[in-house]
Amino acid sequence: MRTISQTELKHGSMEQLHRLCETLREEIFRTVSACGGHLSSNLGTVELTVALHRVFDFPRDKLIFDVGHQCYTHKLLSERAPLFFTLRQEGGISGFPKREESPYDAYGTGHAGTSVSAALGIAKARDLRGEDYAVIALIGDGSFQNGLVYEALNSLKLLRTNVLIVLNDNGMSISPTEGGTQEILDALKESAAGESVRLLEQFGLTYRGIVNGNDLEALIPALEEAKEELRSGSVLLHVVTRKGQGYSFAENAPTETHGLSPAPKRGKEYSAVLGEELMRLAERDERIVAVTAAMTDSLGLRPFFEKFPARSFDVGICEEHASVLAASMAAAGMKPYYAIYSTFLQRAFDEVIHDVCGQDLPVTFCIDRAGITGHDGETHQGIFDLSYLSLIPNLTIAAPKDLGEFRSMLRMSADYAHPLAIRYPRYGEEGVIAPVEMGKFELLHSTISDIILCAVGERCLKIAQFAIKEAEKRGIQVSLANARFVKPLDLTFLTGRPENYIVTLEDNVLAGGFGDAVRRALVGSGKTIFSFGLRDAFIPHGEPQRLSVRYGLDPEEIVKLLEALHARG
Amino acid sequence: MRTISQTELKHGSMEQLHRLCETLREEIFRTVSACGGHLSSNLGTVELTVALHRVFDFPRDKLIFDVGHQCYTHKLLSERAPLFFTLRQEGGISGFPKREESPYDAYGTGHAGTSVSAALGIAKARDLRGEDYAVIALIGDGSFQNGLVYEALNSLKLLRTNVLIVLNDNGMSISPTEGGTQEILDALKESAAGESVRLLEQFGLTYRGIVNGNDLEALIPALEEAKEELRSGSVLLHVVTRKGQGYSFAENAPTETHGLSPAPKRGKEYSAVLGEELMRLAERDERIVAVTAAMTDSLGLRPFFEKFPARSFDVGICEEHASVLAASMAAAGMKPYYAIYSTFLQRAFDEVIHDVCGQDLPVTFCIDRAGITGHDGETHQGIFDLSYLSLIPNLTIAAPKDLGEFRSMLRMSADYAHPLAIRYPRYGEEGVIAPVEMGKFELLHSTISDIILCAVGERCLKIAQFAIKEAEKRGIQVSLANARFVKPLDLTFLTGRPENYIVTLEDNVLAGGFGDAVRRALVGSGKTIFSFGLRDAFIPHGEPQRLSVRYGLDPEEIVKLLEALHARG
C-alpha cells in the first residue's frame, strides 16, 4: 500500500477520509489473511485511529496502545504502509507497537493494562523536561479490567499531569468482557451523566462520552474537544466501536476472528487435549475447577465451561487475581486448574510464589504456548517459564513429549496434592497414553555410546531425534531421554547413566533452565554437561522453527557437538 | 499470656471485653518491644479483632488478612497466647498469618492486595462444597490501592458468592496513603450516602459505614448487621481506626512505629547511602527521578523526596505501576531509580521483563533487603532475585561488597544507558569509594592455590573471608574474588584464573543463580565449580545469620569442601 501523507490526513475532505478508511480496512483484511494477525480488533478501530491522526500530531504527540491488538491502522498511517505486507514476518513489521520500529510507536506493548501507567510516565517526563505535546492512551474495555490500570488511575492526581485516555469499548476482550468494571462501563453508556462518572472524576478524570467510534463525523469533533480540555486536566473519552466493523464475518464472529493464524494448523492443539481431559477428570472429581484470564477459547476450555459452568471461572484479563483465586480455592478444598499462556503467567509470578507454592497448595498450572510462539514477537514468546518456575520451592514442573503423555500427566495430576506446572507448545502429535511416574525421565533410545541427549518437551525431542539420525549417518551412536520433569530432576536416572557426556535441550533461555539444573545436580560426578537452549535475548517475531534455529536450537550445531564428543572418545 | 477462651469472647460482658483489649494492647506492646514486629497497625486493630471474634465463629468462619500486619490480636485470641512471647523468633509464632501454624489462619499472607481474591476463592469453594460459613477479608486502606484488589472486585458479580470485606481505614499504609482511591474513601467518610457508594454497589457490594473501629460498642452491632446481610450478598464495612491507638507515642509516630526491629542496628543501612548518593547524582543530572511503592522511608528516600519533591514518586502499594511508570519516564528521556525490597519486586516481574528490559530502557532498580531478611519469614525473604533477574535479557545485575562500593556503583549507573539492578542487604559496612568497571570482578585475595572463592555481595564475602581464615589455620591457601556482577559475568576473569576449583557463594536460592551461571559459562573449561547458596525451600522467620547457616551458607561446610579439594590437590 502507498504511504499516506500527514497532509492528506490533516487536510483531506471527510469524503477522502471515508475512502481512506475503506482502503485501510481492505489492506488490513488482505494482509491478515496472508500473514495472520489480529483482525476484528483492528477492523473495529480504523475510524478511531484515522480520527486520532487527523486531530493529533504524531510522532510529536504520543499514542500509547494497550496490548497493541489495535495498532495496524496506526502503522499504515505512519510511514509503514509500503512494508505492511511483511506484517509479522521475520524482519518485517511487528504486529505490536515497537519503539525501535518507528518513532510513531511511543511505547512498546503486548501485555495488557500498561497503557495508562505508560501515558502518565511519558506525560510526567514531558512536564519535567518542559516539553509540550499530548499523550494519549488507547485502551480496550478488556484491558480496562486489569489491576494495573487502577493502580495508574490511583496515581493520576498524585502525578499532577494530563493525559487523554481513549477507552475503546467494544464489549469484548478476546471473549466478551464480563465483570463489575464492564457493568460500570455499561452504566456509563446508559447514563453518561450518572454516578459512574463521579468515580472517574474522583480519580481526576473528566469524562467525555459516549462517542460512536465508527463514525468519523462524531469522532473528530469529540477528539478536538478532548484535545482542548487536555490543557487543563486529564480526560477519559469513552468510545464505542464494533469489533470486526466492516466485515460481516468478523462482526458476527469477533471471538473467532480476534487472532488468525498465518499457516495451516500443524497437528492437533494441546489446548484441545486439555479441554477433553479436564472434562474427563471433572466428571469423577467434584473438586476440580478451571480458572482462566480471558482466554477460555484459546486454552481449549470452552467445552469444559459449557459442561461445568458452576466450576468454570474466566475472570477477565486479571492473571494475578486468577492465581490467588486458584490458590484460595485449593486452600478451601478444591482442585483448581489454571490455564494460561506462558508469557502471561509472568504477570502472576509473585502469586505463584506467595500464594500457591508458599502455601504448597494443589493448583495445577496448564501453561500453553511455551517456547517460541513466533509471529507475535518479543512480548509473546514463552521462553522464560522453565527458569522463573524452577527457582520456586514446592513446585513440580513437567513437560510432555506428546499429546498422549500430556493426557497421562493430567491424569496423574488428579491425585497430586502439591503445586504442579505442565508446560507445552501450541501443537502436538498424538502418542501413547501410558502411566507417568512423578519425577521420572523416560529412556527413549538406548545404545552403546558415551553420549546421551536429554530433551525437554515435544519440540526439543524432535530436534534431538533429528540430530541423532544425522549423527547415526556419520556412524555416531547417541542415546536419548525424555526429560519430562524439569523439577525435580530424575537424579536416579542421571547419576545411574553410563554415558559421560550429557547434552541437554530446552526451548527456554539457558539461564536458570533445565541444563543449569542438570549441571548443578551433577557437580562432582565427573560427567560433562553441554546445553542447548535459547540464548540471552528477546526474540522478535518470525517463523518459530527458524527462530528456534537462529536463537540457539540449531540441529547442525548439535550434530557438530556430537561429532566432537565422539572424536574425543 | 494466658489463653483466652472462645466462651469468654462470646459471652463476656462489655466491661470484660474492654479489659481484654487493655490486656491485649499491653501484651502486644511488651512482645513487640522484645521481639520486634509491627506495632502501630496491631495496636490500632485490637477492638476490631476482638469484635470480629465476638461476632464470628472462628476457625469455622474464615478470617483473611491482607498483608497480615494486623494479625497479632487474632493470634492472641486463637489459642496462641501462651506462645506469643516467641513472636518472630526461630521456631516460634510467625508475625504473619500462616496456615500451617493454626487452623485459625485461613490463608497465608505477607504481600499486599491478596485478601479479597482469597476471600472470594474460599467463599466460592465453600458454595461448591455445600458448606456454610462466613468469609471475611480484613484489608487496610493502603492495600486497597493495589491493583489486585480491583481485579477481585471486578470478579465479585461473576463469582456469585458472598464475602464480607472489612476495610480498616487508618489513612496510612506504611506511609500516609495518598492517591485517587484514598480520595474515594475520604469522600465515603464525608458522605456515606454519596456517589462513591454507587461504585461499590456496581461492583456488587453493599456499603456499610462509617464505624469507629476503636469503639467496641459501635463495632459489635455493625458486624452483627453485616453478618446478617452477608446471607443475601457481599458487604463492605468501612471501619475507621487510629493507627497506634492506645499508646501516645505510636499514635503520634505511626510511620516510625509501623515496624520495629528486635535487635540493635547492625551498622549503617544501605538505604541511607542510596538516599545520599541519589541526591548527589540528582543535583547534577536533572533527568534523575526516584520511584517507590509506599516505602519512601524504609528505602532511605525521605531526604531525596524532601529535596526534590517534583522528581519523587511514591505511588502507593502499586509495584507494577511503579515499574511501568519508571519504564515510560525512561522512554521519554528521564533516568529513573526504582527502589524496592527484593521480595516485592516479584510483583513487578512481568513489567521488569515486558516494559523495562524488553525495551532496553535505562531504569535502575535499587533492590533492598536482598538475601535472608529474617524475622518476617517466608513472605519477606529476598532470596529469589538473582535467579528471577538473571533470566532477563538486557539486564545488568550488580551486588556491592560494602557501602563504598554501593556508592561507586550508583555513580557508575548515572551514565549507564540500559536496565541495571543493584541488590543489597539491609546493613553494611563502610568501604572505599573506588571506580567500578561495569562487568568486572575484583580480586580481593590472591595466593598460590588451586581454589578460588567467588562470592556475591557483602554477606557472602564475609562468609568467604571467615572460611578462608579457618582454612588458613589448617594450612590451606585459597584466593578470593568479589563477584560484583552476576550478569554479565566477568568471563575474562573466570577463564583467565589459574585455579582449577571455583567455589561460588550467594545468598539466593541455588536454582538459576550465580553458581549456575558460572558453571554454564565454564562448560568445557576443565574447571570444577562448587556452589554454596540457599537450598530449595521457603525459609521461615528467625535470626538471619542462623537461618543462613541452616539453609545452605554454612562456613563449616565450606571449610570442609576446601579441605577436601586441597587434599585432592
How much is the CA Rg of chain B, to the nearest whole Å? 25
**In the numeric block, which cell numbers belong to residue A23?**
482502503
Contact by Cβ (8 Å): A222, A213? no
Please give, rounded to a whole number of angstroms, the shortest distance from the CA of B185 to a CA of chain A: 10
Place of cell 537462529: A550
Place of cell 554454596: B532
3-state secondary structure of A533: strand
Is residue B238 in some structural domain?
Answer: yes
Query: Strand B364-368 relative to strand A268-269: parallel, antiparallel, unpaired?
Result: unpaired
A453 and A502, same domain (yes or no): yes
Distance from CA of residue B101 to its chain's centroid?
20
Rounded-to-integer distance, Cα B177 and Cα B314, Å: 10
B337 and B282, same domain (yes or no): yes
pLDDT, tens only, B80-130: 999 999 999 999 999 999 999 999 999 999 999 999 999 999 999 999 999
Q: Where a domain ends, among A200, A226, A252?
A: A252
DSSP B163-197: -EEEEEE-SBSSSBP-SHHHHHHHHHHH-TTSHHH
pLDDT, position A192: 46
B424 and B455, same domain (yes or no): no
Q: Where a domain ends, among A428, A459, A485?
A: A428
pLDDT, position B265: 63
Full pLDDT tens readout for chain A, 569 residues: 888 888 889 999 999 999 999 999 999 999 999 999 999 999 999 999 999 999 999 999 999 999 999 999 999 999 999 999 999 999 999 999 999 999 999 999 999 999 999 999 999 999 999 999 999 999 999 999 999 999 999 999 899 999 999 999 987 655 666 777 777 777 766 654 455 567 778 888 999 988 999 999 999 999 999 999 999 999 999 999 988 777 776 677 777 777 776 655 678 999 999 999 999 999 999 999 999 999 999 999 999 999 999 999 999 999 999 999 999 999 999 999 999 999 999 999 999 999 999 999 999 999 999 999 989 999 999 999 999 999 999 999 999 999 999 999 999 999 999 999 999 999 999 999 999 999 999 999 999 999 999 999 999 999 999 999 999 999 999 999 999 999 999 999 999 999 999 999 999 999 999 999 999 999 999 999 999 999 999 999 999 999 999 999 999 999 999 999 999 87
**What CATH number did the domain enclosing B510 receive?**
3.40.50.920
- Choose among B121, B289, B313: nearest Cβ to A328: B121
Domain that holds residue B356: 268-428
pLDDT, position A193: 44
B283 and B362, same domain (yes or no): yes
Is residue A67 in some structural domain?
Answer: yes
Chain A residue numbers touching B316 (CB-CB < 8 A): 151, 154-155
- Choose among B117, B357, B530: nearest Cβ to A325: B117
Rounded-to-integer distance, Cα B274 and Cα A52, Å: 43
Q: Tell me the ipTM for this assembly.
A: 0.96
Is residue B261 in some structural domain?
Answer: no
Contact B117 A328 (CB under 8 A): yes
**What CATH number did the domain enclosing B136 receive?**
3.40.50.970
Place of cell 517526563: A125
A346 and A211, same domain (yes or no): no
Is residue B206 in some structural domain?
Answer: yes
A135 and A42, same domain (yes or no): yes
User: Which residue in the list B101, B269, B319, B506 is annotated as catalytic?
Assistant: B319
Say if residue B261's pLDDT is above 90.
no
A31 and A158, same domain (yes or no): yes
pLDDT, position B244: 77
Contact A346 B349 (CB under 8 A): yes
Please give, rounded to a whole number of angstroms, the shortest distance from the CA of B262 to a CA of chain A: 25
For chain B, what is the mean pLDDT? Answer: 94
B395 and B466, same domain (yes or no): no
Q: Is B228 exposed, middle or buried (0-12, 13-18, 19+ CB in 10 A)?
A: exposed
pLDDT, position B25: 95
**In the numeric block, which cell numbers belong to residue B341?**
525490597
* Angle formed at CA B442 by CA B433 and CA B277, multiple of 5 degrees: 25
Phi-psi region of B524 (alpha: psi -120 to 50; beta: other; left: phi over 0): left
Using 50, 70 and 90 to split pLDDT, how confident is the model at B192? Answer: very low
pLDDT, position B358: 98
Contact A120 B328 (CB under 8 A): yes
**In the numeric block, which cell numbers belong to residue B431?**
568501604
pLDDT, position A252: 73
Q: What is the mean pLDDT of residues B344-366?
A: 98
Mutation target for A interface from B111, B144, B146, B148: give the one with most A CBs within 10 A: B148
B294 and B374, same domain (yes or no): yes
pTM: 0.96
Q: Where a domain ends, among B252, B286, B302?
A: B252
For chain A, the residue count is: 569
Beta bridge partners of A368: A341
How many CB pairs lie under 8 A apart between chains A and B? 367
Is residue B259 in some structural domain?
Answer: no
Is residue B436 in some structural domain?
Answer: no
The one-character DSSP state at B313 is E
As for how many domains chain B has, the answer is 3
**In the numeric block, which cell numbers belong to residue A458?**
515435544
Place of cell 522453565: A386
Is residue A369 in some structural domain?
Answer: yes
pLDDT, position B341: 98
Please give, rounded to a whole number of angstroms, the shortest distance from the CA of B217 to a CA of chain A: 33
Rounded-to-integer distance, Cα A376 and Cα B76, Å: 54
Mutation target for A interface from B65, B109, B151: give the one with most A CBs within 10 A: B151
Is residue A257 in some structural domain?
Answer: no
Nearest residue of A to residue B60, measured between CA atoms: A332
Contact B390 A512 (CB under 8 A): yes
A401 and A286, same domain (yes or no): yes
Please give, rounded to a whole number of angstroms, the shortest distance from the CA of A22 to a CA of chain B: 34
A424 and A448, same domain (yes or no): no
pLDDT, position B264: 57
In three state form, how does the secondary structure of A108-169 look? CCCCCCCHHHHHHHHHHHHHHCCCCCCEEEEEECCHHHCHHHHHHHHHHHHHCCCCEEEEEE
Say if residue B193's pLDDT is above 50.
no
Neighbour tally for B440: CB within 10 Å? 13
Chain B residue numbers touching A392 (CB-CB < 8 A): 384
Closest by Cα among B440, B389, B436 to B413: B436
* Angle formed at CA B122 by CA B120 and CA B125, multiple of 5 degrees: 105
Contact B327 A159 (CB under 8 A): no
Alpha helices in A1-104 (DSSP H): 6-11, 14-35, 40-44, 46-55, 72-75
Contact A202 B183 (CB under 8 A): yes
Say if residue B174's pLDDT is above 70.
no
Phi-psi region of B94 (alpha: psi -120 to 50; beta: other; left: phi over 0): beta
More confident residue, A295 or B189: A295
Say if residue B382's pLDDT is above 60.
yes
A175: amino acid identity, one letter? S
Rounded-to-integer distance, Cα B512 and Cα A388, Å: 8
Contact A179 B158 (CB under 8 A): yes
pLDDT, position A1: 80
In three state form, how does the secondary structure of B364-408 look? EEEEECCECCCCCCHHHCECCHHHHHHCCCCCEEECCCCHHHHHH
Task: Give φ, ψ of A401 to 5 degrees.
Answer: -85, -20
Q: What percent of chain B has pLDDT over 70?
A: 96
Q: What percent of chain B has pLDDT over 90?
A: 86
Using 50, 70 and 90 to split pLDDT, how confident is the model at B177? Answer: low
Closest by Cα among B503, B498, B499 to B518: B503
Neighbour tally for A181: CB within 10 Å? 25
B411 and B555, same domain (yes or no): no
